[in-house]
Amino acid sequence: MPKEKPLFYDHRSMLKERVGVAGVRSIDLVRLSKRLEKAQAKLKLAAADGSVGWLTVPERRADCREVKSLARKMSAGLKTLVVIGIGGSDLGAKTLVRALKPASRGLDVRFVGSNTDPEEIADLLRTVDLKTALLNVVSKSGGTIEPMSTFLLLRDRLMRRVGRKSHARQVVATTDRTSGVLRTIADREGYATLPVPDDVGGRFSVLTPVGLFPAACAGIAVDGLLRGAVEVRDSFLSTSVGRNDALNFAGLHYLGYARRGQRITVLMPYAARLDLLSSWFRQLWGESLGKEINVDGRIVGHGLTPVAALGATDQHSQIQLYNEGPFDKMITFIEVGRMREDFSLPNPFPDLEGVSYLAGKSFGEILRAERRATAMALEDNGRPNGVLHIPEISPETVGGLMTFLMLSTAVMAELLDVNAYNQPGVEKGKRIISALLGRKGFKL
The residues that are catalytic are 287, 316, 430
* Burial class of 59 by CB neighbour count within 10 A (0 to 12, 13 to 18, 19+): middle
CA 246 to CA 407: how far, in whole Å? 7
- CA of 223: how far to CAs of 73, 147, 207, 301, 315, in Å? 18, 28, 10, 39, 35
Report the residue number, 132 or 305, with the smaller CB distance to its own copies. Answer: 305
CA 300 to CA 419: how far, in whole Å? 12
Q: Kindly state whether residue 428 participates in binding its own copies, applying the rule CB under 8 A.
A: yes
Report the residue number, 70 or 289, with the smaller CB distance to its own copies. Answer: 289
Residue window 77-96: x/- pattern of binding to its own copies, with contact defined by CB under 8 A: ---------xxx--x-----
Q: Kindly state whether residue 146 participates in binding its own copies, applying the rule CB under 8 A.
A: yes
Report the residue number, 78 or 153, with the smaller CB distance to its own copies. Answer: 153
What residues contact residue 80 under an 8 Å CB cut-off, 6+ apart? 107, 108, 109, 110, 128, 129, 132, 133, 134
Q: Kindly state whether residue 259 participates in binding its own copies, applying the rule CB under 8 A.
A: no
Residue window 189-208: x/- pattern of binding to its own copies, with contact defined by CB under 8 A: -------------x------
CA 144 to CA 113: how far, in whole Å? 10
Rounded to the nearest whole angstrom, what is the least distance from the CB of residue 33 to its own copies in the complex? 27
With contacts defined by CB under 8 A, how many residues of the chain interact with its own copies?
120
Q: Kindly state whether residue 45 participates in binding its own copies, applying the rule CB under 8 A.
A: no
Q: Kindly state whether residue 187 participates in binding its own copies, applying the rule CB under 8 A.
A: no
Contacting its own copies (CB under 8 A), which of 307, 390, 401, 411? 307
Nearest partner of 331 among 1, 14, 8, 9, judged by Cα: 14
CA 14 to CA 133: how far, in whole Å? 47
Rounded to the nearest whole angstrom, what is the least distance from the CB of residue 62 to its own copies in the complex? 29
The backbone torsions φ and ψ at residue 378, rounded to the nearest 5 degrees and listed phi first, read: -60, -45
Stretch that binds its own copies, among 30-38, 139-147, 167-175, 395-403 (CB under 8 A): 139-147
368-397 residues near its own copies, rule: CB under 8 A: 369-370, 372-374, 376-377, 380-381, 393
Helix (H/G/I), strand (E/B), else coil: 274: helix
317-376 residues near its own copies, rule: CB under 8 A: 317-329, 339-343, 345-346, 348-349, 352-355, 357-358, 361-364, 366-367, 369-370, 372-374, 376
Helix (H/G/I), strand (E/B), else coil: 380: helix
